[in-house]
Every structure is written in structure tokens, then in C-alpha cells.
Amino acid sequence: MAESLEQLYQQVILDHSRQRHGAGDLEPCDGESFQVNPTCGDEVTLKVRLSSDAEGVRIASLGWEGQGCSISQASLSVLHDLVDGRPVEEVEELDALFRELMHGRGQPLGDEKLERLDDASAFVGVAKYPARIKCALLGWMALRDALVQARS
């Protein structure tokens, strides 16, 4: 099997595309977003609920429903695990890091940043395929939009 294809579809991505964490958990929420990728018709509805404590605002729960390719579905599943329960401020930093990874054309991001991205760092191979970057970003776009709704 060609190396680049294995790099794109890392095992963690294939696993998340089959076991989709957070999929279907659409409880009442503070913010909701529907996003569609017009080139392929992939779509997602994502909902977030926020909570506040002494340390600030954090994501109390996140759920989504969608249909799409393995990259978009796995990205949503990884996103769920990465941001559920985290302070919004940190989530925004992770969002920026993931974007940096996607627009890096497969260049190394540095160990510290990759470590922060955890499973999301597995999407590094996607950055080499410009047509697929939108797939990986679909869930993150929905999250950013839902957070804006939730905080307005």
C-alpha cells in the first residue's frame, strides 16, 4: 500500500470514522451550527452547551450529527474528544493549531503543538491533499460558529 495513502488514512482516523464519538448526542444546547461542504454535500449539525465556573467558561457538552467521508466524520469524532469539558479559551487555541496543521502542506508542526492536538495530529496527511482539507475542517467550522451563537 502506498505510503501517502497510509499517511492520509492513519489508523486513528479509520477507527474514529467507524466509532464516532459524540455522534447523535444532540441535547438542548446554548449554541448550534449547521455546516455543509457544497462540493460534496457533506453536512453536520453540531451543538454545544457551556458552563461557567471560577476558571471561566468551558464546553460542558458537545454533540453532533452528520454524514460525510471518513475524514470529516473522524475529524468530528476526534474534535469531540479533544474539546469536551475544556475551557473555551483553550479550545480556541486548539482550533488555531488545527488550522495551522491543515494549511501547512504536510510540514512538521513541532512536537509541542502536535502533542496538544493529541489524536487530531493524525490529520497531518490531509494537508497534502487540498481537496480534503475542507473535509477535516467541517466540524471545526461548525464548532466555531456554534460557540459564537452560544456566547452571543
Annotate each residue in 54-93 with x if it binds other proteins (CB under 8 A) or - if it does not, as one string: -------------xxxxx----------------------
* Burial bucket for residue 127 (CB in 10 Å: 0-12, 13-18, 19+): buried
If one asks whether residue 42 binds other proteins (CB under 8 A), the answer comes out as yes
* CA 136/CA 134 separation, integer angstroms: 5
If one asks whether residue 138 binds other proteins (CB under 8 A), the answer comes out as no
Enumerate residues 6+ apart whose C-beta is below 8 A from 84: 22, 59, 61, 62
Nearer to other proteins, 52 or 67 (CB): 67
CB 34 within 8 A of CB 47: no
**Which range in 1-9, 24-32, 75-83, 107-115 contacts other proteins by CB under 8 A?**
1-9
* Binding residues vs other proteins (CB under 8 A): 1-2, 4-5, 8-9, 14, 39-42, 67-71, 129, 132, 135
